[in-house]
Amino acid sequence: MACVYIPVQNSEEEVRVALDQLPRDAADILDILKAEQAPLDLWLIIAREYFKQGKVEQFRQILEEGSGPEIDDYYSDVRYERIAILNALGAYYSYLGKIETKQREKEEHFILATQYYNKASRIDMHEPSTWVGKGQLLLAKGDVEQAFAAFKIVLDGDRDNVPALLGQACVEFNRGRYSESLELYKRALIVHPSCPAAVRLGIGLCRYKLGQFDKARQAFARVLQLDPENAEALVALAITDLHTNEATGIRKGMEKMQRAFEIYPYCAMALNYLANHFFFTGQHFLVEQLTETALAVTNHGPTKAHSYYNLARSYHSKGDYEKAGLYYMASVKEINKPYEFIFPYYGLGQVQLKLGDLRSAQSNFDKVLEIYPDNCETLKALGHIYVQLGQTEKAQEFMRKATKIDPRDSQAFLELGELLISSDTGAALDAFKTARSLLKKGGQEVPIELLNNIGVLHFERGEFELAEQSFKEALGDGIWLPFVEGSEKFQEIDASASVVQYKDRQLFHRLEDSGRNVELPWNKVTPLFNLARLQEQLNNAETASILYRLILYKYPDYVDAYLRLAAIAKARNNVQLSIELVHDALKVNDKCPNALSMLGELELKNDDWVKAKETFRAASDATDGKDSYATLSLGNWNYFAAIRNEKRNPKLEATHLEKAKELYTRVLLQHPANLYAANGAGVVLAEKGHFDVSKDIFTQVQEAASGNIFVQMPDVWINLAHVYFAQGNFSLAVKMYQNCLRKFYYNTDSQILLYLARTYYEAEQWQDCKKTLLRAIHLAPSNYTLRFDAGVTLQKFSASTLQKTKKTADEVRSTIAELDNAVRLFTKPHLEAAIREEQQIRQRQEVARQVALAEEASRKAEEQRKFQLERRKQEDELKRVRQQEEHFQRIKEQWKSSTPGSKRRERSEIDDEEGGNSEKKKRKGGKRRKKDKSSKSRYETEEAEADMMDDQEDLEDEDANLNYREPTSQNDQDDAEENAHDPLAAAGLEDSDAEDDTAAPSSTTVRRRRAWSESDDDEPLERQPLSRENSPELRDSDEEVKDEGHRPNGLDAAEDED
């Protein structure tokens, strides 16, 4: 047991004081010390002993007594001990000041400490320990440079002064000069190998700062060996453990942290780390407690920043963004240089993003990025912000960078893909595919949405097999699979029931009854719908219809499925069923503009004009007139009406045309890139005879449409051909018609063949004309108009042959045979007419007359033949032929005059028969087509239009009859058109034209095309829905589904047009 002996004054005796049994009252011992005038070093020893025992009050009492003026008097010659006592007090107050958190008390402590040191210096200003003390004090006050000077004084005198070495090491450490600091610590250790463990702590910290983690660990471990209770070493070691980033390391680290906490509960660092740990374990209550303590015990900025950060994170994860934001702010405020501690900026950015403060969030993320320019998360966050700010290109740039930096970040690729959908589907697809393969590689489940989007993109690019694979992958196994794969057999139904087959959902009831599980999870509805769309595309309408019905069986409110079924029915000409299905859709939503538009088309197809117009109006109203499709439909309606009434009421025609133009123009104003509206406008212009302008428009529309594989606009080809025809450019017209037939109709459209024949006729290519008409008849044998036209052609051909000055007997013979055929052909309409009702009597009479004339002609021809055979004079023949022609002309004349008078109904029938020949009709027909197409952009409704057109064409045909217009008159018209040019441009079309014109010639098309493809809602290809869908946040499933639905529909639309 350690004890000290206080010599008794004036004797040899000593008072023995056991150091572990110091009296509680320091006054007792003070009395002895004073009474015996004990040496001052004893005072110090005893005071120190009190201090060690934690009896700070007694310690202070003794030292204060031992440094009082009395002592100075008494022990004036004992300089060292007096200094030692003063220095001890100075060190004590320095310490108090250092740990004191309240500013005022802190100051007071430091003042006291300074006073003691100054007093010591007055005794001996060269005493090194005083300088060391002063240095420590300055360090504690944060006055690093002065501290440096103080220690330097000592070290200059004695370069091995351990305390000074340590002090200086500390100074260097604080100045960030870790290697110098390390040298000093090392020297101290060499000089004084048994120095306290804390010295090694310094070494460890220096090493740590220098990045020598292993050596740092060794140093910390050594500290703990020497002093197992050293909390700082424990914390340091724990931190290095934590930084190993391995589960065991982290666990060990946390154990050490905990022990440090148990040893010394007020170490802010340990508290922060513990809080951090509990944050990750989700014990937010502990996080808050620990952090609050940490905040209370430290003034150290970075540590506080860390604490605030912990708190903020805790609130952040609990979803309390307001509070989290405040604490992140507090944390950020504690940070002088962002590079020291960047996390709170990131957190703040996140919270601001969440709270919608995009600009602030952006600036915070920018700060993070300055320090970590390659941080993927930050890049992604910024990309996301730019998307929301509408700066797509910047967003893409960031996303691309993120994917480049971390080519294994599936999320980044996913987001990049979403960004690219609107601009570059190919790149978007690549990004999605990369995301998919990354997810697969990582063993993660690939989200259905992703697979769906990949499928849609493939679909849009025409890669149907890949699309199918992707949709199937998205769907997985289910009741749909046997239907798609065709293993589920078609169920026999009554033939009369087959008429409404697409409404039948009994199939699934039966399946359920037979124990099959008919399930369709909500998140698979969209891919299933798309798969069905794909099946339609692949011409598997039957499979598609079953899938749509499955959707409706489970989700009877899915409007798009009704509409698709209606479209399939319509494509098969089952108009009644189609209408019923549309009505089903309207039962779900009677304001659905798509359903209304489609209904309108169907009503037009049924020749229900008034109803159709009302329906289109309703569709337009349902979208506040913003639905281009409805507007276009109304425009078409007016156009058709104008054409229909053409001959009967010029005023009405003009009104309708004007109205149509106005409607097309309105759409163009809203969507300058709407192909269909432009086409419609072109048609109206052509109708007014402005062929050059309309040709320009059609050419541009054609170019734009051909730049996009999803938009198919055969109408514009036909319109162009009509214009060429009208301008007398027959060879170009022929080419255009032929290409259109082949490209869009598989050569099955007899109407276009009729246009083609008409062109040949005008070009006097009789054989081509005949063959073309025969082909048309072969395709549409019940269209007697075609037969009549063929007859006319044959006759005309005969006439022209017979008119030739030189001809062979063979020629004449074959000509006569042709005339016979002509007669037979003419007979047909006659018989046909007879079969018809009385209303057609008039018509029939005309036909009969014609037939009679034709027969007469043929009789004459026969006579001619005789003449020929007898080698009679040719002049006679010629005369007769001419007569024939005149007759025929007369017939035509008569026909013309008679038709207009007849009633509309009649006319339409008549037209059917006669239609082919009139140019006017044809042209109009074409135009109509144009219009029709314009409206098609949306659903299949478009198809409806096409059909409509056909009907209308028929109507037109009625009027057209046999009026062959003279080429000359056409030319005149053309001239007139040219004159009209400018006013025209000024009138309606400026938008589109102007745009195009101003563009540099070379870039025009490109630009335009882009413009088209970007164009809004009307375009079938809209991507917006897609991107919406893709967005990572879960949207309402319904919405999603619909969007997707639209897209494919859009696609269809394009196709359906043909």
Partner 1 sequence: MKLAGLKSIENSHDESVWAATWVPATETRPALLMTGSLDETVKLWGSDELVLERTNTGHSLGVASVAAHPSGLIGASASLDSFVRVFDVDTNATIATLESPPSEVWQLRFNPEGSTLAVAGGGSASITLWDTATWSLVATLPIPRPEGPKPSDKSGSKKFVLSVAWSPDGRRLACGSMDGTISVFDVARAKFLHHLEGHFMPVRSLVYSPIEPRLLFSASDDAHVHMYDSEKKSLVGAMSGHASWVLSLDVSPDGQALATGSSDRTVRLWDLNMRAAVQTMSNHTDQVWGVAFRPPGGTGVRSGRLASVSDDKSISLYDYS
Which residues lie near partner 1 (CB under 8 A)? 486, 489-490, 492-499, 501, 538-543, 571-575, 746-748, 771, 774-775, 777-778, 781-784, 787, 790, 817-818, 821, 824-825, 827-828, 831-832, 835-837, 839-840, 909, 912
Choose between 144 and 493: whose C-beta lies nearer to partner 1: 493
User: At closest approach, how far in Å is the CB of 571 from partner 1?
Assistant: 7
Choose between 212 and 501: whose C-beta lies nearer to partner 1: 501
Choose between 157 and 462: whose C-beta lies nearer to partner 1: 462
Choose between 125 and 497: whose C-beta lies nearer to partner 1: 497
Label residue 161 left, alpha or beta by phi (over 0 means left) and psi (-120 to 50 means alpha): beta
CA-CA distance, 42 to 32, in Å (whole number)? 11
User: At closest approach, how far in Å is the CB of 819 from partner 1?
Assistant: 11
User: At closest approach, how far in Å is the CB of 919 from partner 1?
Assistant: 24
Using CB atoms within 10 Å of the CB of residue 892, give its burial: 0 to 12 exposed, 13 to 18 middle, 19+ buried: middle
Choose between 23 and 781: whose C-beta lies nearer to partner 1: 781
CA-CA distance, 342 to 320, in Å (whole number)? 21
CA atoms 550, 555, 561, 565: torsion sign:
positive
User: At closest approach, how far in Å is the CB of 721 from partner 1?
Assistant: 20
Choose between 977 and 1058: whose C-beta lies nearer to partner 1: 1058
User: At closest approach, how far in Å is the CB of 837 from partner 1?
Assistant: 6
Contact 951, 607 (CB under 8 A): yes
User: At closest approach, how far in Å is the CB of 489 from partner 1?
Assistant: 7
Choose between 818 and 1017: whose C-beta lies nearer to partner 1: 818
User: At closest approach, how far in Å is the CB of 827 from partner 1?
Assistant: 5
**If we measure between CA atoms, which residue out of 874, 813, 826, 831 comes closest to residue 854?**
826
CA-CA distance, 1044 to 1025, in Å (whole number)? 7
User: At closest approach, how far in Å is the CB of 487 from partner 1?
Assistant: 8
Quickly list DSSP for 851-914. Answer: HHHHHHHHHHHHHHHHHHHTT--HHHHHHHHHHHHHHHHHHHHHHHHHHHHS-HHHHHHHHHHH
**If we measure between CA atoms, which residue out of 467, 550, 259, 553 comes closest to residue 1051?**
467
Choose between 411 and 827: whose C-beta lies nearer to partner 1: 827
Choose between 218 and 540: whose C-beta lies nearer to partner 1: 540
Three-point CA angle 935, 939, 941, nearest 5°: 60
User: At closest approach, how far in Å is the CB of 592 from partner 1?
Assistant: 25
Choose between 778 and 866: whose C-beta lies nearer to partner 1: 778
Choose between 748 and 883: whose C-beta lies nearer to partner 1: 748
Quickly list DSSP for 299-336. Answer: --HHHHHHHHHHHHHHHHHHT-HHHHHHHHHHHHHH-S
Compute the radius of gyration of the chain from its Cα atoms: 49
CA-CA distance, 135 to 984, in Å (whole number)? 94
CA-CA distance, 74 to 55, in Å (whole number)? 27
User: Which H helix or E strand runs over 185?
Assistant: helix 178-191
Choose between 832 and 877: whose C-beta lies nearer to partner 1: 832
* Alpha-helix residue ranges (DSSP H) falling in 373-463: 376-388, 392-405, 410-420, 425-441, 448-460
Choose between 836 and 1007: whose C-beta lies nearer to partner 1: 836
CA-CA distance, 329 to 349, in Å (whole number)? 10
Using CB atoms within 10 Å of the CB of residue 967, give its burial: 0 to 12 exposed, 13 to 18 middle, 19+ buried: exposed
- DSSP class of residue 195? -
User: At closest approach, how far in Å is the CB of 250 from partner 1?
Assistant: 60
Copy the structure tokens of residue 685.
């212009």
CA-CA distance, 681 to 695, in Å (whole number)? 11
Provide CB contacts within 8 A for 257, sequence distance 6+: 234, 235, 238, 270, 273, 274, 277
Choose between 627 and 958: whose C-beta lies nearer to partner 1: 958
User: At closest approach, how far in Å is the CB of 847 from partner 1?
Assistant: 13
User: At closest approach, how far in Å is the CB of 542 from partner 1?
Assistant: 5
- DSSP class of residue 24? S
CA-CA distance, 807 to 801, in Å (whole number)? 7
User: At closest approach, how far in Å is the CB of 431 from partner 1?
Assistant: 32
User: At closest approach, how far in Å is the CB of 686 from partner 1?
Assistant: 29
